[in-house]
Structure 1
Amino acid sequence: MDQHHTYTGFNAGHFGPQGDLSALDRRIAELTELGAEVCELAAVRLDVVAACQLLPERMGRLKTVLSSHQIRYTLHAPIAVNLMDEAHLALQIRAAEASLELAAECSADVVVFHPGRVHPVQWADKFRGLLKREQETLSRLADRADTLGVRIAYENMSPNRRIIAGTETSYALDLIALADQIAAVDHPALVACLDVNHAQQGRVLQGYDLYDQIAKLAPYVGHIHFSDSTGLPSTIQWDNDGERLFFGIGDMHAPPGFGVIDFAEMARQLTVLPGTAIVIELKENHFRHSARMTIEAARNFAAAIGNEC
């Protein structure tokens, strides 16, 4: 990996039926043809982990597929991993460790995790203890990641349906709070994943200055998720992604220009750590009609941001 280069590419998306490695093979070939330099795999779509244990036969087949392509890999851990889930913390840690081991087997050098989230009442009562325990757990996981040759990228949260409904909250809706948590852990194997679509949603929900927040998170950014949105919360009744796009609400995962993010201004406020990957996340219908346009936009975005050496 060239530490002085910012990589652009896509997540593997919904490449076909879950666990269909032949379909994954075709998708990676398609991404390579588009000029992608990186492909982000979703741990839960591979069917190579069961009960937090890697399955050797399935893992061997996956490695054969991955090694046949000249592309860099990163991995997104299960979204359900939650290091503030006190009732199931041992299981959550096993799932996180399995994700790190899976990444190492796939030669993926970054694993994306979503930060801790809890019920708002629990947060109000125990937020200092929750943050401290997450720091301790993250530090141990970062030690393990370091021995495996991977980095953990902690991603800013989107206001999902549970957050909008008031049954869940996360400090990581706020980019500065995420920066503070990463700084508190202070481990070279832990960086921030800036999801620009999530950040726009947080801006609308919480009313913060997006570009000021990005500037404060910038020293920790070692991974980026790239897509557009309006940031309008999904507070109306909707039935499918077509309706969500039509109204312009929620986690749109849309191409640039379909939302309102000012990518040029964002790039002016941003620096990134060496070897950062910009991973495009598009809904499958958007991928089919706008993949080439979006990777060109991502390359222009990469060229406009700084690199912290």
Structure 2
Amino acid sequence: MGARIGFTVQQSTLQGLDRQVGRALALGADGVELSLTPLGVVIGGRLNTGHLARVQRILHSHRPAVTVHSVLSLSFMDRTHAERHQRVADAVVDACAALGGTVLVVHPSWVDTPSFTAERDALMARERDGLHRMAERAAAHGVTIALENMPVIQEYLNGTDTNHGLDPLSIAAQVEAVNHPSLRATIDVSHAHIGARHFGWDLTERLRPLAPLATHLHLHDSLGVPLCMPGLFPGEDRVFGVGDLHMPLGWGDVPFPSLLPALPLPENYTVALEIGLDRIDDDVAAESLALARAWSSATTALGSSGTTSATTAFGSSGTTSATTAFGSSGTTSATTALGSSGTASATTALGSSGTTSATTAFGSSGTTSATTAFGSSGTTSATTALGSSGTASATTALGSSSTTSATTALGASGSTAGAEAEGATGAGVRTSRGEATIAVVGRTTSSPRSS
């Protein structure tokens, strides 16, 4: 069985939902990805049961395969509103199950850069705890939580907000650290494309360790350039070619045909085409669907031969998380944050058979290593060529308590942040007080953290 592919549907009216779900299926899609935010099925951290029943009737009449996108502001790093976030987390899991969803896409937590820099280890641990609770609740409903990687956006460039999920390696490490069968990953290919261009990563190699952990893909096109031009009017981000554009496939330069077959994805993953279905013509939507099917059918599935593995071995001493620190020179550091006694080893071995293994082991020696071995041609010590500076580091900083800590060094470019603007216009913005106005499938929201 191949990948199940659907269109993302963001509708605030039942009539619009009925129309777009029917249209998606008529175009040949297997299903839809429903955005919870405009749907109105969660109000005040509780299920809006009367309206939920109406939505259920519409879905029952069409019988699509369903995946669900969680609310965008959910953050387990927000201590001030922790109880409210937890109620919402519980409600969105329950809503996903009630809507027949098999996958619930969740964003990693957003936080202001100074707080994240000062308290990174504690905040990452809080997110792991929250994700574990979500996964436990999801497991009871047969739902899989899928943590998504983020793109570079204007708030990162401005130095105001950060998100560890900017780096796909951090998503992989966080999923492995939680170590729950109902928590996997969403790979947003365009997000990773923007990050790879900005930081000088090799896109395929950056996504390869995350691919075996993925259960879901987001496909949409862009030109690989962050939203670096403030003051653009909605829709003009496409004209200038900047931002997380969410364009139909083939309109940008994401290297889908070469990338997707090179990723060791598991069997039977799901795909959402995040291209703003209600703002494009049928022929454009159908073309994107056909391309997605062709590219997905060419992907490498993980079979019994175990061509790829990404595993984490946890000793009694604790957990792991990965970080990315961006300094003024454009260098990158991919680190592992451990508990008070923890150690880390992050390795990638590419043998002659073309297999990939990304493993983190915690031994008793308290040592840290980060290495990359490339077959018979020799070894390379964990390096990544980044941007014009061409520099790279893979380091672990140990604080006074012998714990691993990672800091985000903010240079001229600012802090790590990512967001996803969904819809035909992408992230067209007028900025005010550091907030981006995001055009999202027929509606406009002011938020630095888009879907």
Please report the TM-score for the alignment, with normalisation by the length of structure 2. Answer: 0.65
Higher mean C-alpha deviation, range 173-182 or range 252-261: 252-261
Question: RMSD value over aligned CA atoms?
Answer: 1.5
User: Does residue 217 of structure 2 align to residue 224 of structure 1?
Assistant: yes
**Aligned partners of 1:224 and 1:44: how far apart in 2?**
20
Give, in angstroms, the shift of residue 242 of structure 1: 2.6
Residue 57 of structure 2 is matched in structure 1 by 64
Which string of whole-angstrom CA distances, capped at 9 and with x for unpartnered residues, describes residues 27-78 of structure 1? 1110000001020000011112210111221111111001111310011011
Matches of 2:36 and 2:49 in 1, distance apart?
A: 15
User: 2:3 is matched with which residue?
Assistant: 6
State which structure, 1 or 2, has the greater radius of gyration over its C-alpha atoms: 2
Q: Give distance in 2, aligned partners of 1:38 and 1:285.
A: 18
Code of the residue aligned with 2:91 in structure 1: it is A
Contact 2:169–2:206 under 8 Å retained in 1:
yes
SS of structure 1 residue aligned to 2:268? coil
Select 2:116's aligned residue among 120, 123, 137.
Answer: 123
C-alpha distance in structure 2 between counterparts of 1:117 and 1:141, whole Å: 17
In the TM superposition, what whole-angstrom CA distance separates every residue of 1:145-204 from its partner, at most 9, and x where no partner exists?
A: 101110101000122332232111111100111101111111110111000111111112
1:97 corresponds in structure 2 to: 90
1:186 aligned to which of 155, 166, 179: 179
Residues 40 and 55 from structure 1, CA distance in 2 versus in 1: closer, same or farther, beyond 3 angstroms? same
Q: How does 1:35-74 map to 2 (within 5 A)?
A: 35-74=28-67
Change (3 A) 1:289 1:246: farther
Deviation at 1:238, TM superposition (A): 4.1
- Whether the 8 Å CA contact 1:238–1:244 is kept in 2: the answer is no
Name the structure with the higher strand share: 2
Measure, in 2, the Cα distance between the counterparts of 1:265 and 1:274: 19
Partner of 1:249: 242
1:285 maps onto 2:293 in alignment: no
> Quick check: 294-303 or 51-60, which moved more?
51-60
Pick aligned residue for 1:29 from 22, 43, 49: 22
* Aligned partners of 1:214 and 1:266 also within 8 Å: no
* Residue 208, structure 1, aligned to residue 201, structure 2: yes
Equivalent-residue separation in structure 1 for 2:203 and 2:281 (angstroms)? 26
Q: Which amino acid aligns with 1:11?
A: T
Code of the residue aligned with 2:217 in structure 1: it is I
Deviation, structure 1 residue 205: 2.5
Task: Tell me how far apart the structure 1 counterparts of residues 73 and 152 of structure 2 sit (CA, whole Å).
Answer: 15
For residues 153 and 73 of structure 2, what CA distance do their matches in structure 1 show?
13
Partners of 2:2 and 2:297 within 8 A in 1: no
Could you tell me which amino acid in structure 2 is paired with residue 235 of structure 1?
C
Kindly state the Cα deviation for residue 288 of structure 1 after the two structures are TM-superposed.
5.3
From 135, 149, 152, the equivalent of 1:142 is 135
**Secondary structure of the structure 1 residue equivalent to 2:72:** coil
The answer to whether the 8 A contact 2:75-2:127 is kept is no
Instruction: State the alpha-carbon separation in 1 of the partners of residues 199 and 44 from structure 2.
Output: 37
Hey, what does 2:268 align to over in structure 1? 275
Aligned partner of residue 259 in structure 2, secondary structure: helix
Equivalent-residue separation in structure 1 for 2:231 and 2:246 (angstroms): 16
Identical aligned pairs, as a percentage? 31
**SS at 1:99 equivalent:** helix
| Equivalent residue pairs, number | 302
C-alpha contact 1:38 1:277 (8 A) present in aligned 2:
no
**Separation in 1 of the partners of 2:170 and 2:60?**
38
Helix, strand or coil: the match of 2:104?
strand
The question of whether the paired residues in 1 share the 8 Å contact of 2:261 and 2:295 is answered with: no
User: Which residue is equivalent to 1:170?
Assistant: 163
Cα distance in 2 for partners of 1:297, 1:164 equals: 32
Q: Does 129-138 or 168-177 show the bigger shift? A: 129-138
For 1:305, give the aligned amino acid.
T
* Cα displacement (A) at 1:298: 0.4
TM-score calculated relative to the size of structure 1: 0.93
Give the secondary structure class of the aligned counterpart of 1:225.
strand
